[in-house]
Chains A and B, each alone.
Chain A
Amino acid sequence: MAPLKVLVGVKRVIDFAVKVRVAPGGHVVQEQGVKHSLNPFCEIALEEAVRMRERGEAAEVIAATVGSRQSQDALRTALALGADRAVLVELPGAGPEQGAGPGAGPGQGAGPPLVAAALAKLVEREKPQLVLLGKQAIDDDCNQTGQILAAILDWSQGTFLSRLELDPGSSSVRIQREVDGGLEQLRLQLPTVLTADLRLNQPRYATLPNIMKAKKKPLEVQPLEQLLGGPVPPPRLRVLRLEEPPVRQGAQRVESVPALLERLAALGRI
């Protein structure tokens, strides 16, 4: 069989090093002026796809995302990391400046069912034999997109990958999954949907020269309605309220055991 075509789903999230704050109103998190980057688990999935291409197992790596216009920079990073081309499925109502709009969840509006539906349509169009995703995004931590996508496509699925090997003949893959209390080895027939866990590989760094080169790679923008061939269904989830965790009280030093007991009694702990 010819080398595979691999579709990698990526997501633009608030950078892992940023302290997330709830925006005034309590429905969304503060996104304006906050550093964003590619979701780390998506980086791992992409790295695996790029390595497959470098070994000659994959012919083409396509990075795709569902999001606003700003998600383009996640795709540019993906291209810099080695994807051959990129597709942005653009959410309606998300102009170049505004984000996904009020009422949208921390996941920028498109929840896993919608993203999976959009990716399924892309799979129909691009006909990849393998779809690689991060196991979850570090913003909403849904951990659902891969599973829902596999169900829509009626493909096999392998989640929480810590190893991936293509069998000779390229018609199946051997995978190792991280499950509760151990590792699970499976062999899956292609086509399949796989999601990457933290230990699958060590992603490379997007260097400046590669970022420059990535600017010349093709990036296609497709409106979501057009891809779905109809209106975008309303979100199934509504964010009622977002709250920051209570601020941790500092520790206090006490002189002696009686003083400690007294303090604890005063706090109502004993």
Chain B
Amino acid sequence: MANLRSEVRNLYKNLLYLGREYPKGADYFRKRLKAAFLKNKDEKDPEKIKELIARGEFVIKELEALYFLRKYRALKQRYYSDDNQ
């Protein structure tokens, strides 16, 4: 259980860090992140917690993909304007 606890905390920290670059602002992201974690704060079942952690990790992947795409698109627009879409 203690192990899972630190995992959840790490997940929260990692997401919080990623949220600093969120297009709608870090505050917007933090509020939602906190709400999402608080919603499940009474979860006791280890299996269920693991499932939730996996979902958080999926969100991390999605955010990284979002940031990559945003950067890629910005650069493509700036430097490769005559390319076909």
Q: Which residues on B are within 8 Å of A, measured CB to CB?
A: 10, 13-14, 17-18, 60, 64, 67-68, 70-72, 74-76, 78-80
Contact = CB atoms under 8 A, between A and B. Distances in A.
If over half of A's interface residues share one DSSP class (helix, strand or loop), that class is named, otherwise mixed; here it is loop
Contact of A16 (B10, B60, B71): B71
B17 A208 contact: yes
Interface string A192-207: 0000001000111101
A33 interface: no
Contacts of A198: 72, 75-76, 79-80
A138 interface: yes
Q: Which 8 A-B pairs have the closest CB atoms?
A: A205-B64, A208-B17, A208-B14, A16-B74, A198-B75, A40-B75, A40-B71, A16-B71
A65 to B, nearest CB: 20
A2 interface: no
Contacts of A205: 18, 64, 67-68
Interface of A: 16-17, 40, 138, 198, 202-205, 207-209
Q: Which of B18, B67, B70, B72 has the most CB of A within 10 A?
A: B72
B40 to A, nearest CB: 21
A40 B75 CA distance: 8
A203 B17 CA distance: 18
B46 to A, nearest CB: 23
A209 B14 contact: yes
Contacts of B10: 209
Contacts, number: 31
A247 to B, nearest CB: 19
Contacts of B17: 207-208
Nearest to B14: A208
Contacts of B14: 207-209
B68 A203 contact: yes
Contacts of A204: 64
A202 B75 CA distance: 13
A106 to B, nearest CB: 15
A203 B67 CA distance: 11
A198 B76 CA distance: 8
28 contacts: A16-B71, A16-B74, A16-B75, A17-B70, A17-B74, A40-B71, A40-B75, A138-B75, A138-B78, A198-B72, A198-B75, A198-B76, A198-B80, A202-B68, A202-B72, A203-B68, A204-B64, A205-B64, A205-B67, A205-B68, A207-B14, A207-B17, A207-B60, A208-B14, A208-B17, A208-B18, A209-B10, A209-B14
A73 to B, nearest CB: 14
A17 B13 CA distance: 24
Nearest to B76: A198
A208 B13 contact: yes
B58 to A, nearest CB: 15
Contacts of B68: 202-203, 205
A33 to B, nearest CB: 16
Nearest to B16: A208
Contacts of B74: 16-17
Given A198-B75, A204-B64, 9 more contacts: A40-B71, A138-B75, A198-B80, A202-B68, A205-B67, A205-B68, A207-B60, A208-B14, A208-B17
